[in-house]
Amino acid sequence: MNNRRSFIVGIKSLKLSSKEKFFIKKYKPWGIILFTRNISNIKQTLRLTSSIRKIFNDRKYPILIDQEGGKVNRLKNIISFDNLTSEYFGKKFVKNFKEFNIYYKLFIDKTSYLLKSIGANINTSPILDLRIKGSSNIIGNRSFSNNPKTVSKIGDYCIDYFHKNGIGTVMKHIPGHGLAKVDSHHFTPVVKKKLNYLSKKDFIAFKKKKAFFAMTAHIIFSKIDNKNTVTHSKKLIQLIRNKIGFKNILISDDLSMKSLKENLELNTIKTFNAGCNIALHCNGNLKEMEIVGRNSPLVNKFISKKTSQFYKILS
């Protein structure tokens, strides 16, 4: 673990290219994230993840995937989860808890089974952002509810059920993306609500969570830090640590998103300076990956310790 670097990258295709193998051996990223472009069927994906783990000689090496269900379904070449949105489960939770519990556990059990069968061991779920009327549709039905207590409770079930199945979870987008009026993949959202309001609404859903990982929001909360997105804000990361009380590994959202206005090198450096533990880069562009790799520090004792705790739940 000690010679790995504190970043996660995506890869381009269905198998590792010789250049990607060279890159992984040279920079030793902490983890790899899979997308639909990497998945054609179960057998092929397992071959891919096995080839990654072989490089590290670590059968528990972190391999992540965004498998929320609904519109964020990286397994769509294998199975459709189109109707099983977070909104669907949120409504079921309120209407008929008993039914919710049966359906949701089944959904997570089956998702976990699929993730294990392709060699993924971390799911970037649950989304704990609130569903806010008039906000950007980038969250939309990916949210469980507009009620922070409902979102928080379902979040606990999600984390617990995945952990029992030997899958780590990344709650996102801490401390809350729900109020964003624009899509942070393309623009920088600015939220003008005061801390007092946010503490009673958006931030509550992330409190007292047992997730091993959380992903930051690329949004500006102007009343707390009017210059930096959460990913680059020391103030907001202190708030995540102290007020929200998240003490585990903090991963940035994708550094290639347009919400971040500096060049990639500066965006990477600022991510670590603000207090994120691990930088995430998703698009598989090797030149960009090298910039992130070069500017990511070696894994420190904190990350090593927390990674070991995560490894303990893996079967």
User: Strand 278-281 relative to strand 249-254: parallel, antiparallel, unpaired?
Assistant: parallel
pTM of the model: 0.95
**What is the C-alpha radius of gyration for the chain, rounded to an integer number of angstroms?**
18
Query: Which stretches in the chain have pLDDT values below 70?
Result: 2
pLDDT at position 246 is: 98
d(CA 27, CA 273): 20
pLDDT at position 257 is: 85
pLDDT in tens, 161-207: 999 999 999 999 999 998 888 877 888 889 999 999 999 999 999 99
pLDDT at position 262 is: 85
pLDDT at position 140 is: 84
d(CA 179, CA 142): 14
pLDDT at position 2 is: 67
